[in-house]
Amino acid sequence: MQLRFRLGTSYTFPGELRGWNSRPDSSYDLELSSASLSDIDIDRYNDLDPESRNTLQIKADIAVRWMERARFTGEPVIEVLYLTFALEALLGDTQAGLKSGLIARRQLMLSHIMTGMIPHPDQTIMLYGEVRSKAVHGETAREISSQEAAAFHLAVKNAFDQYLDLASRENIQTQSKLTTLLDKHDEHETLVEWLALNGGPEWAKYFRSQKRNH
């Protein structure tokens, strides 16, 4: 006779030490409401066909994957972390220095070009510093509310849509050309001057680092 055992999902030891864990192959039901799906533009995502996409669209596909992970993580601080990865895929590069201000500045410029308006100037740079930077340096990120995470998710989704819209309008095929357009836009210096005067402490820190690097 051959006996077979399967690990249980709970344990108990003397001294009221007990606990539980789910099995690796466990699955759970996920209910999606119309509100959950309201910000998913299926046609826009279908434009990222892997057989025909250019390098700019490949970056967009990477961003979509991080946005999907963010949507279903269930933990606001992890949602924000994943969303910063999505923004990096869209607007980041490999240059040295503080990335938070670079990405936030490009996000604001992108919004200004496409809508004539900008989102809250401190949102991205603040969350980037308080969540992403601390996470990658082994520090404790501050608590993030679900409302903060939801607002940031909307801002990143808007940046994603504007990224593809601008690329389509200007017939841009690579991410580097799009970010160059943002950095060299006629109103770029005006935006930088406005941020230097009106931005929060994180912007001041970013601009100081820029002066040291130049």
Tens digit of each residue's pLDDT (9 = 90 or more) over 167-203: 999 999 999 999 999 999 999 999 999 998 888 888 8
CA distances from 41 to 44, 106, 161, 170 (A): 5, 23, 9, 22
CB 170 within 8 A of CB 94: no
Question: If you average pLDDT over every residue of the chain, what do you get?
Answer: 81
DSSP state of 18: E
Residue 79: how many CA atoms within 13 Å on its side-chain side?
21
Q: Which residues is 13 bridged to in the sheet?
A: 17
Q: At residue 207, does pLDDT exceed 90?
A: no
Q: Domain residue spans in the chain?
A: 51-213
pLDDT for 45: 53
CA-to-CA distance for 187 and 14, rounded, in angstroms? 69
The two most distant CA atoms of the chain are separated, in Å, by 81
Residue 3 makes CB contacts below 8 A (sequence gap 6+) with: none
Residue 183: how many CA atoms within 13 Å on its side-chain side?
12
Cβ atoms within 10 A of the Cβ of 46, count? Answer: 8
pLDDT for 30: 46
Handedness of CA 199, 202, 206, 209 (dihedral sign): positive
Specify the pTM. Answer: 0.76
DSSP state of 96: S
CB 100 within 8 A of CB 125: yes
pLDDT for 6: 58
CA-to-CA distance for 105 and 108, rounded, in angstroms? 5
Closest CA to 93 of 59, 137, 126: 59
Strands 10-13 and 17-20: antiparallel
The pLDDT tens digits for 72-117 are 998 999 999 999 999 999 999 876 556 889 999 999 999 999 999 9
Residue 60 makes CB contacts below 8 A (sequence gap 6+) with: 48, 53, 89, 90, 160, 163, 164
